[in-house]
Amino acid sequence: MTMRSMHHCRQTGMLLPVAVFLLVVLSAMGAYAMRMSVLTNATMSQDILMVQANQAGKAANEWVTYQVYLPDATGAPVMQACPTTTSLTINGFNVQISCSVQTFEDEVNQAVRVYRVVSTATQGTYGTADYIERQATATLSRCIRTDASGVKTECN
């Protein structure tokens, strides 16, 4: 073997750019995967809070329903007004309650009241990423018949 053939077999460093390229690409893929994981977790947290806010609004509507259908001390049905409470705190959510009522009467001594209840549950500061707001609406009606002797009963 001559000296000339030995110099020809020497490595020239072509693998170094390939290795750097692979490291850069793998790092970028790892950063992308990490970002997607963080975004997925944040989205899941927001979804859970939205469901909780919805349930808080529905719970406020159920509370109003209980107040509306509450009988008097004797157990007789009564046409209740909308509750005077307009704000509740349920499971960390501030719930604002709006209630309106309309009364209808007919010629057979029946009175019907229709209640419209809107409960808005919020948490966090408006305009920030952690702000949650959900609204629950309910329509309730109550019909009470008064007979000739003044006894009140629920309509059929």
- Please, which pLDDT band fits residue 37 given cuts at 50, 70 and 90? confident
Distance between CA atoms of residues 41 and 32, nearest Å: 14
- What is the dihedral sign for C-alpha 54, 60, 63, 64? negative
Whether the pLDDT of residue 1 is over 70: the answer is no
Name residue 112's beta-bridge partners. 104, 143
DSSP structural state of residue 81: P
Task: Give pTM, 2 decimals.
Answer: 0.70
